[in-house]
Amino acid sequence: MAWTLCIDCGTPTPRTRCPDCARTHNTRRNTSRPQYAGGWDKRSRDTRIQWVAEHGLVCPGWQVPPHPIATIADLALDHDVGPLCRRCNGRKGGGWDKHHSP
């Protein structure tokens, strides 16, 4: 995994933001997104844990076949679909599905 600098504070991190800045960013962002209010972080974590317990380390896929993931941290919880790997979640959220047929 390649490390980069947090876009907010400059701390080395494997993601775009370090954990502290990501929490602050998500809290600020989610105040205007009602679907993420009311304990979204806990619901997301609990749902991902339940998914892995029932299905193992696998992403159900978004317009691609189900495929293995390395860790539970590779899953994101899409508010429409459910657990997806970060790549599938990014593809879905990026409008990919609106421009490509299944």
DSSP conformation letters of the chain? ---EE-TTT--EESSSS-HHHHHHHHHHHHTT-GGGTTTHHHHHHHHHHHHHHHH-SEE--SSS--EE-SSGGGEEEETTTEEEEHHHHHHHHTTHHHHS--
Predicted confidence (pLDDT) at residue 100 exceeds the cutoff of 60: no
Give the residue with greater pLDDT, 96 vs 10.
Answer: 10
Q: pLDDT at position 54, please?
A: 95
Per-residue pLDDT band for 94 (boundaries 50, 70, 90) equals low
Q: Report residue 96's pLDDT band, with 50, 70 and 90 as the boundaries.
A: very low
For residues 73 and 94, the model is more confident at 73
pTM of the model: 0.57
Give the pLDDT of residue 67: 95
Q: Other CB atoms closer than 10 Å to residue 15's CB: what's the count?
A: 15
